[in-house]
Amino acid sequence: MRLWSIHPGYLDSKGLVALWREGLLAQNVLLGKTKGYKNHPQLSRFKNADNSEAAIASYLRCVADEADKRNYKFDRDKISKNSECSRLQVTEGQLEYEFKHLLNKLKVRDPSRHEELKSIKQIETHPLFTKTEGGIEEWEVIHQAAT
């Protein structure tokens, strides 16, 4: 499961679809509707939010917004109707790590997208997140190719 902190606009089509599916799985976990993935490290920041259901719903709405821009049809009825939540924090180090991780995936999966993105210096966050100082988040599972 990868719940990206970087803006979903960076993702290629496969990445955006995967994020949607994984976000819906995360929502089911947070709502207690599944037995698996309960302790997945990517969920910790949502679990620690004031309202985890609202946080994941807000996250998914932003993913659906990106899908709309691309004329994809993601079913918004699958998103919890919970109200908006306050923004969550993500460290600069986490954003940099995730962006490098994505670039490594795109080298193989979508070389033209990789070329488009590789010169970006200011990484935008997913709209739910506010950037703060710091390194890679403690919950991150480090992949050597992305460091």
Q: Whole-prediction pTM value?
A: 0.92
Q: What's the pLDDT at 14? A: 96
Is 1 domain-assigned? no
Is 2 domain-assigned? no
Q: What's the pLDDT at 146? A: 61
Is 22 domain-assigned? yes
CB-CB contact of 46 with 30 (8 Å) = yes
Is 27 domain-assigned? yes
Is 41 domain-assigned? yes
Residue for token pair 């976000």: 23
CB-count burial class (<10 Å; 0-12, 13-18, 19+) for 100:
middle
Q: What's the pLDDT at 1? A: 76
pLDDT under 70: residue ranges of the chain:
144-147
Phi, psi dihedral angles at 7 (to 5 degrees): -60, 135
Q: What's the pLDDT at 61? A: 96
- Residue 6 to residue 129: CA distance in whole angstroms: 9
Is 143 domain-assigned? no
In which domain, by residue range, is 30 found? 8-134
Q: What's the pLDDT at 147? A: 60
Q: What's the pLDDT at 11? A: 98
